[in-house]
């Protein structure tokens, strides 16, 4: 599942969390595996948290990027790692809930290979349209789409990605017909929206905020159940389409059979880290919503999203490339 711009947020929070988890270990460095490529502000953000927590806990953190296969390569490394608390995964909805649906032959069992530790942040998307589209809000867009079924198209990062799933969920919820145009990554999908080759997309706040503020794209709504601090005047889709919700997230997982005491220490460290005002503010600025959980709550979220998207993917016949 592609999350090109989320790497900043995902790496941002979890780097610091890893330090706290291994504070009770034997002084060995803790490896935080990020199953995506480095780039952009990811390294800067990771350094921000890791330095703060390392200073406080006296623990070295090693951030290891293992990109490839929609996060499968990095996740597999953690699944195979010793359950000693020294290797953890920066997972997201794609690695934990979507990949097990799209890829039938993963090298691990996603439901049993990991021990959920804590949610870190939710990442709602933004329903965007080209300024040339004659719709100023979600209700207007639905009216337009129903009046001209099949005329409009929406761009995505590729089959099975978060942009695609949000788009198909919107089509089902509104009973509209929008053509899907898949690209190789979220960047090209937004470029063609900017140029007007497509009219609609669902993108993260982070990758679209600059275009929104510049007036190059129009934000009609966010896909979470609450408005986001970065776009306080933009309503949720659910304010027009009751019950609509499409939220990605990022969280920490350890190898299965990691001692519960280690899991609990890490979960506590995550809560403390995300509760820091500067961290919460940085997340909000990037369009995320800081939110932690207990290990059990995180496990329930992973399973709930698996069920939701398994049904959607089956109904729409979505296949991974």
Can you give the CATH number for the domain in which 148 is found? Answer: 3.40.190.10
Does an H or E element contain 64, and which?
A: strand 61-65
Structure token digits, residue 266: 């890490």
- One DSSP character per residue, 192-221 reads HHHHTSS-EEEEEHHHHHHHHHTTSSEEEE
The answer to whether residue 289 is domain-embedded is yes
Q: Of 181, 207, 239, which one is at a domain's C-terminal end? A: 239
Asked if 89 contacts 118 with a C-beta cutoff of 8 angstroms, the reply is no
Work out how many domains the chain is built from and give that number.
2
pLDDT at 39: 55
The per-residue pLDDT of the chain, averaged, comes to 87
pLDDT band at 217 (very low <50, low <70, confident <90, very high): very high
Q: Are residues 129 and 110 in the same domain?
A: no
pLDDT in tens, 180-202: 999 988 889 999 999 999 999 99
pLDDT in tens, 245-302: 999 988 889 999 999 998 998 888 888 888 889 888 888 887 888 889 999 999 999 9
pTM above 0.75, yes or no: yes
Helices (H), ranges, the chain: 7-21, 42-57, 72-80, 93, 99-102, 138-147, 162-174, 186-195, 205-213, 260-274, 277-285, 295-316
The percent of the chain in helix, strand and coil, each rounded to the nearest 5, is 45, 20, 35
**β-strand pairing of 114-129 with 289-290:** antiparallel
The answer to whether residue 321 is domain-embedded is no
Q: Are residues 230 and 133 in the same domain?
A: yes
C-alpha 259: how far from chain center: 27
Q: Are residues 115 and 254 in the same domain?
A: yes
Q: Are residues 54 and 186 in the same domain?
A: no
- Domain extent at residue 98: 4-123+247-316
Query: Higher-confidence residue: 51 or 117?
Result: 117
pLDDT band at 94 (very low <50, low <70, confident <90, very high): very high
Q: Of 195, 218, 239, which one is at a domain's C-terminal end? A: 239
102 burial class (0-12, 13-18, 19+ CB within 10 angstroms)? buried
pLDDT band at 153 (very low <50, low <70, confident <90, very high): very high
Average pLDDT (212-228) is 97
The answer to whether residue 291 is domain-embedded is yes
Given CA atoms 113, 292, 32, 283 in this order, what sign does their dihedral have?
positive
């Amino acid at each position: 599942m592609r999350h090109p711009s989320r790497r900043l947020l995902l790496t941002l929070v979890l780097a610091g969390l890893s330090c706290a988890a291994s504070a009770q270990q034997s002084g060995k460095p803790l490896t935080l595996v990020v199953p995506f490529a480095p780039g952009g502000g990811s390294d800067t953000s990771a350094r921000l948290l890791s330095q703060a927590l390392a200073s406080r806990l006296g623990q070295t953190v090693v951030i290891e990027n293992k990109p490839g296969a929609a996060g499968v390569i990095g996740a597999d490394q953690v699944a195979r790692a010793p359950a000693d608390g020294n290797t953890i995964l920066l997972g997201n909805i794609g690695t934990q809930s979507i990949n097990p649906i799209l890829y039938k032959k993963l090298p691990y069992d996603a439901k049993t290979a990991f021990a959920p530790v804590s949610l870190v942040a939710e990442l709602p998307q933004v329903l965007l349209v080209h300024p040339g589209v004659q719709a100023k809000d979600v209700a207007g867009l639905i009216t337009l789409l129903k009046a001209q079924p099949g005329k409009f198209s929406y761009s995505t990062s590729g089959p099975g990605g978060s942009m695609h799933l949000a788009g198909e969920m919107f089509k089902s919820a509104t009973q509209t017909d929008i053509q899907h145009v898949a690209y190789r990554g979220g960047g090209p999908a937004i470029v063609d929206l900017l140029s007007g080759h497509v009219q609609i997309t669902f993108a993260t706040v982070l990758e679209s905020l600059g275009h929104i503020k510049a007036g190059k794209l129009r934000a009609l709504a966010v896909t979470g159940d609450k408005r986001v601090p970065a776009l306080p005047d933009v309503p949720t889709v659910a304010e027009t389409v009751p019950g609509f919700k499409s939220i990605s997230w990022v969280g920490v997982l350890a190898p299965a059979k990691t001692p519960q005491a280690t899991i609990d220490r890490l979960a506590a460290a995550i809560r403390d880290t995300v509760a820091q005002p500067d961290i919460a503010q940085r997340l909000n600025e990037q369009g995320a919503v800081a939110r932690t959980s207990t290990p059990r709550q995180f496990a329930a979220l992973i399973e709930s999203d698996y069920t939701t998207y398994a049904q959607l993917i089956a109904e729409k016949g979505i296949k991974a490339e």
